Chains A and B, each alone.
Chain A
Amino acid sequence: MAIEVRIPTILRSHTGGAKAVQASGDTLATLIDDLDSQHSGIKGRLVTDEGALHRFVNVYVNDEDVRFTGALDTAVKDGDSVTILPAVAGG
């Protein structure tokens, strides 16, 4: 068992075009580290140099926006589903 991560179009260049990939971890942070070890460069698109989630992406664990569940500290476990979407916003 692993955690399914759904990848938005704009990040599929990191996953060889795959719409969904598998990764493992016990928090969103360790999951993203694992994701980056398989799909180099993807972490930089999700996490800032200061170690916070980019404002430009929304990440959901089982349909819950992680901004409300502890951001990168959000717990994840096998069988969970993670969805990454680009925020649609502007000025």
Chain B
Amino acid sequence: MLTIDRPTYDAIVAHARRDHPDEACGVVAGPVGADRPVRFIPMLNAARSPTFYEFDSTDLLRLYREMDDRDEEPAVIYHSHTATEAYPSRTDIAYAGEPGAHYVLVSTRDPVDIEFRSFRISDGAVTEEPVTVIDTAG
């Protein structure tokens, strides 16, 4: 199960809406082993494409360095689909390189309703999991 706080959830959705019709992508980092997404890090989609996303390779190195220095790992890796459902594509599955991460897919195909779903992707196998959004006090 993915447990995520409301501000982070909203930030992912806002990023996906902002970059529509291109795919948006990013990470929510968390302390190693804690399974807790806390630090929202929107990334540039170097592909700038409605059908593909890729972290720029220099940004990727910087991101992993920084997470390493802070004892963090990618708790969530998110990206959007802008014309199709929020389900991992064959390409998503082929590339998935973080079996410990929650792969969040957001679909912006509908201008009003958002689809926000989370998956584990490991060795080519996709498992959907429930998403719990925690509303913070106030």
In the bound assembly, the distance between CA atoms of A60 and B58 in angstroms comes to: 9
Q: Which residues of A contact B79 (CB under 8 A)?
A: 90
Q: Are B25 and A88 in contact (CB under 8 A)?
A: yes
Question: Is B37 located at the chain interface by the 8 A CB criterion?
Answer: no
Q: Give 1 or 0 for each of A59-71: 1 = CB within 8 Å of chain B CB.
A: 0100101010000
Question: Is A10 located at the chain interface by the 8 A CB criterion?
Answer: yes
Q: Give 1 or 0 for each of B48-69: 1 = CB within 8 Å of chain A CB.
A: 0001111101101100100000
Q: Are A88 and B95 in contact (CB under 8 A)?
A: yes
Q: Are B91 and A86 in contact (CB under 8 A)?
A: no
Question: Is B124 located at the chain interface by the 8 A CB criterion?
Answer: no
Question: Is A91 located at the chain interface by the 8 A CB criterion?
Answer: yes
Q: Are A88 and B89 in contact (CB under 8 A)?
A: no
In the bound assembly, the distance between CA atoms of A91 and B95 in angstroms comes to: 9
Min CB distance, B77 to chain A, in Å?
6
Q: A9-B98, A9-B100 are in contact. Are A90 and B57 (CB under 8 A)?
A: no
- When C-beta atoms are compared, the residue in chain B nearest to A83 turns out to be B61
- When C-beta atoms are compared, the residue in chain A nearest to B121 turns out to be A90
Question: Is A1 located at the chain interface by the 8 A CB criterion?
Answer: no
Question: Is A52 located at the chain interface by the 8 A CB criterion?
Answer: no
Q: Are A56 and B95 in contact (CB under 8 A)?
A: yes
Min CB distance, B96 to chain A, in Å?
7
Q: How many residues of B contact A (CB 8 A)?
A: 29
Q: Are B98 and A86 in contact (CB under 8 A)?
A: yes
Q: Give 1 or 0 for each of B92-113: 1 = CB within 8 Å of chain A CB.
A: 1011111110000000000000
Q: Are B53 and A90 in contact (CB under 8 A)?
A: yes
In the bound assembly, the distance between CA atoms of A8 and B95 in angstroms comes to: 14
Min CB distance, A86 to chain B, in Å?
3
Could you tell me which residues of chain A, from 31 to 89, have a CB within 8 Å of some CB in chain B? 56-58, 60, 63, 65, 67, 83, 85-89
In the bound assembly, the distance between CA atoms of A60 and B57 in angstroms comes to: 9
Interface, chain B (partner A; CB < 8 A): 25, 27, 43, 47, 51-55, 57-58, 60-61, 64, 73, 77, 79, 88-92, 94-100
6 nearest A-B residue pairs (beta carbon): A86-B97, A91-B91, A90-B92, A89-B54, A88-B55, A65-B57
